[in-house]
Amino acid sequence: MKMLITGGAGFIGSNFIFYMRKAHPDYDLVCIDKLTYAGNLETLASVMDDPKFHFIRADIADRSEMDRIFAEEKPDVVVNFAAESHVDRSIENPAVFLETNVMGTQVLLDVSRKYGVARYHQVSTDEVYGDLPLDRPDLFFTEETPLHTSSPYSASKASADLLCNAYHRTYGMPITISRCSNNYGPYQFPEKLIPLMIANTLADKPLPVYGEGLNVRDWLYVEDHCAAIDLILEKGRVGQVYNIGGHNEMRNIDIVKIILKALDKPESLITYVTDRKGHDMRYAIDPTKIHRELGWLPATKFADGIQKTIRWYLDNRSWWENIINGEYQNYYERMYANR
Ligand code: NAD
Ligand code: DAU
């Protein structure tokens, strides 16, 4: 079995590579990554010398390069994690989100079809469903919820999902799609809420909470997401969408307070800043389908996962300090200086 994993030098893709190495040591894994600002080869250091792992630096939107790689590697399965993934950056500059998330997906679908891959899995997001109101805790996203996107990021991810469905229906391609809620855990790029708040807390810097911090996200430990994708690849039905989430809704402000408490820092570090444009209020996944059909349930409780994650950032300071001391500083200035 040869599995081609795109975006494997990013947060979830790298965790998926580590997960698959353990769960299926007999698989050959090929990772394609463009190494954008979010991709980091240091993350993959522990597998780089593994004879059953192969890294290729390439852009999924580069058709001739993808054709060459697929002709040479002949993968059985493709799992597409590669994406521009940060909502705030999509508000600043939507174009690259369409190039990678939409056109890149289309290129991967075309070459997967040409070389007859047995399964193409698209890693999508709960953001394609838009958001839910805070005063309707009875509402959840199911796989039947209409797509209703808010940001250029979510619009690009929804477009990619529609292309996947079209390739399944039109060409009979063996496609599955997963839509997961917010992930947290090791190797998450420090522009995202949890690692950003951990890094700022450790530096005694202000913690920029958007709006009033009342927005709700449904948090899942990254390894549970990886296990769910592995199950979908093994037992999922082609042409199907599977939602992934662990019924763990939290307000942003409460997450920030948990981090402050764990690191024994004062709440006076919290700074309320101008809200994100078009900010989605609440995400909440109904994971009934993946539980009933495939038997998936999350293994990590948030109370444990967040402590493990904070511990990881404490133990791996050089990994994220290298990032925040580089080009990322310009991004931070641009995004937060006059907010
Ligand atoms: P990330 O930004 O940490 O990593 C993305 C990776 O893709 C990076 O290594 C980057 O170099 C690579 N990449 C970007 N453009 C590329 C291109 N054109 N060609 C090849 N590689 C390219 O993102 P993440 O948080 O790990 O998210 C991975 C996937 O999971 C994305 O598709 C995202 O939409 C989806 N997702 C993320 C979450 C979350 O909470 N982070 C939740 C649900 C779904
Ligand atoms: O739901 C899945 C999605 O989760 C993924 O598809 C995206 O790739 C991933 O980035 C994530 O999107 P969010 O926008 O929910 O994540 P982010 O970490 O950027 O923000 C989480 C919440 O915290 C959101 O309500 C905005 C808020 N926030 C974020 C940052 C970076 C702040 O209040 N302050 C901040 O500085």
pLDDT given at position 339:
85
User: Torsion angle of alpha carbons 125, 135, 272, 257, nearest 10°?
Assistant: -80
Residue 79 has pLDDT above 90, yes or no: yes
pTM of the model: 0.98
Measured from the CB, is residue 244 less than 6 Å from ligand 2? no
| E strand or H helix at 193 | helix 193-202
Q: What's the mean pLDDT in 35-53?
A: 97
How many angstroms separate the alpha carbon of residue 87 from the centre of ligand 2? 7
Which runs of consecutive H residues, i.e. helices, occur in 217-325?
A: 222-235, 252-262, 288-294, 302-315, 317-324
Q: What's the mean pLDDT in 218-237?
A: 98
Residue 326 has pLDDT above 90, yes or no: no
Q: For residue 327, name the pLDDT band (cuts at 50, 70, 90).
A: confident
Residue 5 has pLDDT above 90, yes or no: yes
Distances (CA, A) of 205 to 5, 201, 265, 333: 36, 6, 11, 13
Beta strand spans in 222-320 (E):
240-244, 249-251, 270-273
pLDDT given at position 318:
95
d(CA 163, CA 102): 8
pLDDT given at position 338:
84
Substitution candidate for ligand 1 out of 4, 11, 121 with most atoms within 8 A of CB: 11
Q: What's the mean pLDDT in 27-42?
A: 97
Nearest ligand, CA 270: 2
Residue 120: both structure tokens together: 């193409």
pLDDT digits (tens, 9 = 90+) for 155-184: 999 999 999 999 999 999 999 999 999 999
CA 61 to centroid of chain Cα atoms: 19
Which residues are part of the catalytic machinery? 126-127, 153
Measured from the CB, is residue 245 less than 6 Å from ligand 2? no
Contact 156, 93 (CB under 8 A): no
Q: Which fold has domain 2-187+219-248+279-301?
A: Rossmann fold (3.40.50)
pLDDT digits (tens, 9 = 90+) for 12-23: 999 999 999 999
Residue 333: both structure tokens together: 């200035």
d(CA 128, CA 286): 14
Q: Which atom of ligand 1 sits closest to the CA of residue 188?
A: 3
Residue 122 has pLDDT above 90, yes or no: yes
Distances (CA, A) of 264 to 10, 270, 315: 30, 14, 17
Could you tell me whether strands 53-57 and 77-80 are parallel, antiparallel, or unpaired per DSSP bridges?
Answer: unpaired
Measured from the CB, is residue 255 less than 6 Å from ligand 1? no
pLDDT digits (tens, 9 = 90+) for 284-301: 999 999 999 999 999 999
Q: For the chain, what is the mean pLDDT? A: 97
Residue 139 has pLDDT above 90, yes or no: yes
Measured from the CB, is residue 131 less than 6 Å from ligand 2? no
d(CA 38, CA 32): 14
How many angstroms separate the alpha carbon of residue 210 from the centre of ligand 2? 10
Q: What's the mean pLDDT in 258-279?
A: 98
Nearest ligand, CA 332: 2
Substitution candidate for ligand 2 out of 80, 276, 277, 280 with most atoms within 8 A of CB: 276
The count of other CB atoms within 10 Å of the CB of residue 166 is 14
d(CA 334, CA 322): 19
Measured from the CB, is residue 98 less than 6 Å from ligand 1? no
Measured from the CB, is residue 300 less than 6 Å from ligand 2? no
Q: For residue 104, name the pLDDT band (cuts at 50, 70, 90).
A: very high
Residue 132 has what DSSP assignment? B
Domain limits, the chain: 2-187+219-248+279-301
Measured from the CB, is residue 6 less than 6 Å from ligand 2? no
d(CA 151, CA 149): 6
pLDDT given at position 3:
98
Q: What's the mean pLDDT in 64-84?
A: 98
Residue 219 has pLDDT above 90, yes or no: yes
Q: Which atom of ligand 2 sits closest to the CA of residue 191?
A: 31
Residue 153 has pLDDT above 90, yes or no: yes
